[in-house]
Each structure stands twice: as C-alpha cells, then as structure tokens.
Structure 1
C-alpha cells in the first residue's frame, strides 16, 4: 500500500473515532453519543424530541442552546470528511463568519444541509446557502452569485435570528428552515407555532416545500458531527424521515 493511501485511511479512522467519542452538550436534554436515529433519535446536541419541543402539541417551543456552546467537529475535520465539497468555499465562510460574528464551521455545516455544498443549486431559494432572495444584502434582489453574496445572505439571516432570540441556536436554525413559534407573530397555523401536522396541511403545502421536521436533528446531531446525513448515515435521521414530502401521509 502506498504511504499516501495509509495516510488517508489513518485520517478517516481518526475522524470516525472522534465521531464516536464526541462529548455531549451538558445543556442539551436527552443528549447521547454517538448519534442515533429513528423514533428515539438523539445526538450530542440533544434528543430530537427535545429539539422539537411542542411540535407534537400546540406548537414548537424551541429549547435554548447557546450558539457558542454547540458540540461540533472542527472545520478541518469536516473538510477532511463529509464536508470535503465545502472546502472550495472556505474563504467565503470565513469572510461571512467574520462579518457577522458566526463560527465559519457553522456556515459550512448549514451549506451542506441546504445545498450539499453546491453553489449552483437552484430553486426558489437558490445558491450555496439556499437563501431567500428577499434577504439578499447586496441591494440587487438576487444573490446566488457572486458566491460571497450568497454566503453573506445566509449569515445575515442566521445572525438576525440569533439576535432576535438571545443567541438561541435552536430557534435560529429552525427559523432558517422556516420553522415558527406563536411568539414569532407569523399568523400561520392559526397563530400557533409549527406542529407536526402543519407541513402537510393545505396551508402548509401552500407555502412551498413542507418544512423538514428532521432539520434540527439532521443539522445539530448530523452535519455538525461530521455524519453524511444524505448518504451513508441516512439511517441516523429522526422519526420525520420523509424527505420534505407528504407522500407518506399527513404527517411529515
């Protein structure tokens, strides 16, 4: 075996060991390590049931996790593993992270969740960060390109949500995906927060693709820890594993 191959294998073995040994967040209820999926899904940043508090009741009531105390792998480990496609955009994550006071690793994790780190990804919210054009900060009303503008857009959306929620990463990340609470004042779902039946209701479907109720678990306990949630680690997804589709019934 060539020495370069041994080096790659050793790096991957070390990464997997780090995943298995990830420290649980002391502020996260129901946390476990390593991440597990299914109806009892959990990971180092809490259980899915805790992250989705209220979704099965009268509306989402996001618990608090400080954005600066999340458990996650390093940016270097991420680039050496599942986040390799994101490495080409490193300068943009670091620039936007500095501009909006956000750990660039978090922006890279979101980019993988949103677009699989594909700056050419289309849709109504195109680009690397899948940022709604109404939130573009370049004054153009469109910011898929330049790529820096798209990352700035995503970082601004996340920073705004953090500032509005006292730095609550759970609330802010949910908001990034379109989650809402009664206190957000959206008027949606009869003035309630997001519930598990809302995404596939007539009102929910009228607002575009159904909200992904696995989003918080996929992000905080998946990509943040270096798992490939769209590939080999898809079985670690939580109980709302329906790919933002309502084809499996009324609950997604």
Structure 2
C-alpha cells in the first residue's frame, strides 16, 4: 500500500483511486478505523518526499520581491499557493462528509478514471499557447485557475496532478511547470486534510500498529521521491495521453472485476 501511494500520489493517475482499488483487491476493510488511519499515515510519507525535494523552493515562497526591475510579474510566492488552495480547500471542508460517504468506493473510482483521462487528452490537444514555461513564470490568475481545476481532485480517481496539470495547460502553463506547481500546492492541502483525519483517528492508534504504519510511511516516502523525479523526466518524453490510456486500461480491468 505504501509503494502504491508513493508511486501514484504525484502521477496523473490518482493515488486515492489506486489505494481504494488496491485495498479492494487485498480484501482490506476500508471502513475499518485502522485502515483509514493507515491511509492517512502513508499519505504523510508522500508529503514528506515533496518537502525534502523542494525544501529550498518552499523557503523561497516567502520572498515577494520582483524578478527584475523591468518586470511587473512576481516570482512564485506564498500568495500563488494560497490562491490555488482556496477553491478546493473551501469545498473540501464543506463537502467532506459527502465525499467520504458517497465517492470513496471502487465503482466511483472507475468512472472518474475515465472522465479524468478524457479531460487530460482534451487539455493536451486543445490548450492555448504556453506563456509560463517555469513555476516562476506563473501569474496569480493562472494559479487561481489551477486551483479551480483542483476541485475535480476531490472526486477520488480524478487525480490532483491530472486535474491541475490539465488546468495548467488551459491556463497557458507548460506541463512540467504545472506539475511542479502541483507538487508545491499538494503539501499544505494534504497536510491539512491528513491532519484533520489523523486527529479524528487518534483514538484508534496503538503501539502494536506502529511497525505496519512505519513500513507504509517509509515505503511511500522513498518511492514518492523516486516517482517525482521520474515523472518530471517522463513529462518531457511522454504525453498526458499516455497516462490517460493507462487510466482507461485500469478502469476496464476493474470494471470487469467489479461488474
């Protein structure tokens, strides 16, 4: 489970969707408090991978100085992250129970894998000309547009990176810049979401669970670091359509298994 989380958290294939489907294949009771807590812990492992790899970039977010005296466009800073967090953050809080109760199931994941894949193909084929090649070229408006697309990621199986990279392409951001921006935005979003879940699950933790939780956390952290580096390289060689086709294949396989 830790390896699956680390591999898929930052790829446009949906880590939550893969975790739900994997748990189904392994026969795990996803309604169990211990399983839910375990899923939170492994997500924190993936978050730590981003923090380690982008530590210097996180520090630079608090620098609001302009790129040059001739430019009116500020470098990537904390305000970009906040603007990208607001839409999904608000709806995530308001619809948390609905999402957990109605959308966290293998059947709904199958549908979202397909719909999300179609969005990625459309975004890649019909996006306008790119104006932001790197994360430091992203404007506040573009950051907010990416945030609006991140709302789609509230549906498990849609994928945070898949929806935000698609939104980034529509907002004239390059795929690699949109991916890196997604990694940075994912940290406060995931820390907030997993923090709330962990607090609510605190009563179900005990020392006997520690070895299992530690194994999942470490696996997600190590594999997550490798996945981030690999994904950025793959984006320069592979199209989003390749990942969309993978999503369709997974959806077909689980459609046959579930239905």
TM-score (norm 1): 0.29
Larger helix fraction of residues: 2
TM-score (norm 2): 0.28
Q: Which has the bigger relative contact order, CA under 8 A and spacing at least 6? A: 2
